[in-house]
Structure 1
C-alpha cells in the first residue's frame, strides 16, 4: 500500500507531465492537496513530504485542523467549499485563501471580519455551466463581484475558481476550461493582482493544465478514498 508521501510524489509527477505536454514553464501550476474528511495525521505526512498548500471544504473541520497545526506556520490554508454567511467569521479569522466567494454579502462579511494587518486572498467562484444545483456567479456577473472585492481593503482579489459539470464529455469539458481561461485573461487585463485560475482535479488535470489552469485541486489521489 502506497504512503501519502508516495501518492503525493506521483500526483506532482503527473502534474508536471501535464505541464510539459502543454508546453508550459516548469512549476507554473500549483497543486492544492484537498484534505477534507482526512485526519490531521494525514496532513502532517504530506507536510513532512514537503507539501504546503492544503484545501478544506468544511468550515468547522478546517478550523479545527488549522488550530491543531498552528506550529506549522508555513502551511497555506485554502477554503474551497460553499460558504454560508454565519460561517464567514471563522473563515476570515483562520484561512489564508477563500476560493468560493460568489456573493457580495459574503465578500463584505469576510472583509469586515478579517484582521486588517493581513489581507485575505480571494477567488471568485464561477458557475461556468450555469447549473442550478451549483454555487458560483454566472460569467456575466464576474466583473461586478470583482469590482466589489477589489474595493474592500482587507481582501485581495487573486482570480477565479470553477467546478465544471461532471457529466460533460472531453470536448465539452475542454470548451468549459477554455471559457474559464478567457474570463481569467479578461480579468487580468483589468486587475494587476490577478494570478490564479483554480480549475481541474485528479480526473481532468491534463485538460485543465492544457487550457491554462494555474492551480489544480487533488484529494483522493493523495489521501486515498474518503470513507
Structure 2
C-alpha cells in the first residue's frame, strides 16, 4: 500500500483535483443556464404564466435534441465549436463547453419537473391577491419547488461526474483520464480500480448530502 501511495499518490490527487474543478465550474454555468431554461419550459407552456407556443416549441425541440445525444457523441460533435470558442479541445478548458451543453438541458428538465409538482392552487391564490408573476416565480414557485430542485441538482451533479470521467478520452484530465490512460491502455488495473472507487465514494457523498438537504427543505 505504501509503495502504491508513493508511486501514484500525486497522480490520483491531481486527477481528483481536475475532476472537482471540471465539476464545480460546469455545475455553476449549468445552474445559470439550466434553472432559467427549466422555468421557461414551464411558464411558456399553454398553462404557464407567459404562454408562448413558438418559444415553447423551440425550447422543447432544442432540449429534446441535446438530451437525446450521448455525451461521448456530443463531445466529438461540437469539437469544432469548442475549438473556435476556447481555442482548444483538450484539457479542462476544452471540455467545459461540451459538459455544459450536455448537462444544462438535463437540469432544465429536472427543474421543469420540480416546478410542475407544485400545487397550482398555491399559484392561483397568490395571483388572486394581485402579486406579480415575476414575484410569484422568484419568491413562491422556486421556494415551493426547492426540495425537488435540490434532488434535481444532485442527480445533475452525479451525471456530470460521470461525464467528466468520459471526458478523459479526449485528454481532459481527471480520474477518468487516469483510469483510461493507465488502467486501460497500460494494463495497470490497480490504478484503474482506485480511480473507480474514488469516483464511487464521491458520488455517494454527493447523493447523501443532496438527500439530507432535500429532506430538510421539505420540512
Q: Which has the larger radius of gyration?
A: 2
* Greater RCO, CA 8 A, separation 6+: 2
Query: Which TM class, normalised by the smaller chain length?
Result: under 0.3
Normalised to the residue count of structure 1, the TM-score between the two structures is 0.25
Whichever structure has more helix as a proportion of its residues is 2
Whichever structure has more strand as a proportion of its residues is 1
Normalised to the residue count of structure 2, the TM-score between the two structures is 0.26
